[in-house]
Amino acid sequence: MSAVLCTALLALTACGGGSAQKSAGKSADGYPVTVASCGKEAEVQAPPKRAVSLDQGSTEILLSLGLADRMAGTGTWTDPIPKHLEKENAKVERLADRYPALEKVLSKEPDFVSASFLYTVGKGGVADRAKFTELGVPVYVSPTDCAGKDNDGGGDGKRVKTLTMDTVYGEVRDLAEVFGVEKRGERLIADLKGRVAKATKDIDASGVSLLYWFANSDAPYMAGCCGAPGIITRELGAKNVFDDTREEWPQINWETVADRDPDVLVIGDLTRKSQSAESAAAKIKFLESNPATKNLTAVKKKRYVLLSGQAMNPTIRTVDGIEQVAAGLRKFGLAK
């Protein structure tokens, strides 16, 4: 065991161990606070001062709640930070573009860890959340990755129940409660709801078929019915050509895509480099040159809507997705 990790473990034992101690009741300031965390509980004894967010979606919620000064680090990025959060994000150390090493996380002496996906705090991710719990560090995992979702079958899981924005708003409320900034949380939710209402006002895209392509040109990940792309599709009254599968991101061959022939292609514009065809430019180049896709209606008419990876995941940026797809459909003359 390295000296850095030993130091971090000692510090956590001394400073973070209180998180594991149950309190008989709440104090005058409302603590301890306990929130559900994907089948477990996360309890904090006081407002976190050294939080580490391990996924970009969680990071952007904390920054949107004005909590940069109470964050010790971030990790796992797919996209540039939104312009309005750049200044706050610059105050927080980025521990890694992908999963930071556990040793690196522990060196920040976190008193709270948040993640958007169970995988991030499981085998293959940063570390199993049981490791953090052993050290007295509460771990919160977004309900968007477990409520009404089966993650036992491999891949990106399957939606047993259809995801709605209410689950995303629930994540905002949970994190706001943990940090004692409930009013900020309600203001953020009200803003997001207002944006959805404005983007979808008087829009009718019934009869318009959409395909959502996240990444990978060899075995492409396309959106099933009921995750974040499903939220976007339903808000606009459109149809997802793969709404007959509840898998979150099934890998579907191009011949099947050609058979479905969507009216519009909603494609992920990612800056990471872990899959083939990550950027929108790479995806479009592939679509326009591949024999199986170059004759698609959407390709021939260049009906492309470009979204960030975060907009295609269940996050507060799913609202960006609603706005951008709505604008694209109006531009293409497909929305009544």
Helix (H) or strand (E) holding 301: none
Q: Which of 143, 201, 197 is nearest to 169 (CA)?
A: 143
What six digits make up the tokens of 175? Answer: 């994190």
Burial 234-262 (b: 16+ CB within 10 A, else e): bbbbbbbbbbebbbbbbebebeebbeeeb
Instruction: Please work out, in degrees rounded to the nearest 5, the angle formed at the alpha carbon of residue 216 by the alpha carbons of 215 and 222.
Output: 55
In CATH, which of 1.10.3720.10, 3.40.50.1980, 3.40.50.1260, 3.40.50.170 is domain 203-331?
3.40.50.1980
Per-residue pLDDT tens over the stretch 160-208: 999 999 999 999 999 999 999 999 999 999 999 999 999 999 999 999 9
Residue range(s) of every CATH 3.40.50.1980 domain in the chain: 12-194, 203-331
For range 66-82, the mean pLDDT: 96
Classify domain 12-194 by CATH architecture: 3-Layer(aba) Sandwich (3.40)
Distance CA 207, CA 27 (A): 55
Return the pLDDT at 18: 35
Other Cβ atoms within 10 Å of 152 Cβ, number? 7
Q: What is the pLDDT of residue 153?
A: 81
d(CA 169, CA 192): 9
Residue with tokens 């995303």: 168
Residue type, position 203, single letter: I
Position 154 scores a pLDDT of 75
Which DSSP state fits 145? Answer: G
How far apart are the C-alpha atoms of 136 and 20, rounded to whole Å? 5
How does pLDDT run across 110-127, given as a tens digit for each residue? Answer: 999 999 999 999 988 999
d(C-alpha 51, C-alpha 124), whole Å = 22
Angle at 87 between CA 81 and CA 89, to 5 degrees: 50
The reported pLDDT for the residue numbered 3 is 41
Residues 69 and 66: their CA atoms lie apart, in Å, by 8
pLDDT at 25: 63
Whether residue 244 is predicted with pLDDT greater than 50 in this model: the reply is yes
For the stretch 139-162, pLDDT in tens is 999 999 999 999 988 789 999 999
pLDDT, tens digit, for every residue of 17-52?
333 333 446 665 789 999 999 999 999 999 999 999
- Structural contact between residues 79 and 270, judged by C-beta atoms closer than 8 angstroms: yes
Among the listed residues 77, 168, 153, the one whose alpha carbon sits nearest the alpha carbon of residue 120: 77
* Residues 153, 162, 187, 81, CA torsion sign: positive
Helix axes 165-178, 182-200, angle to 10 degrees: 160
pLDDT confidence of residue 1: 42
Residues 79, 214 contacting (CB under 8 angstroms): no
**Rounded CA separation 211/245 (Å):** 13
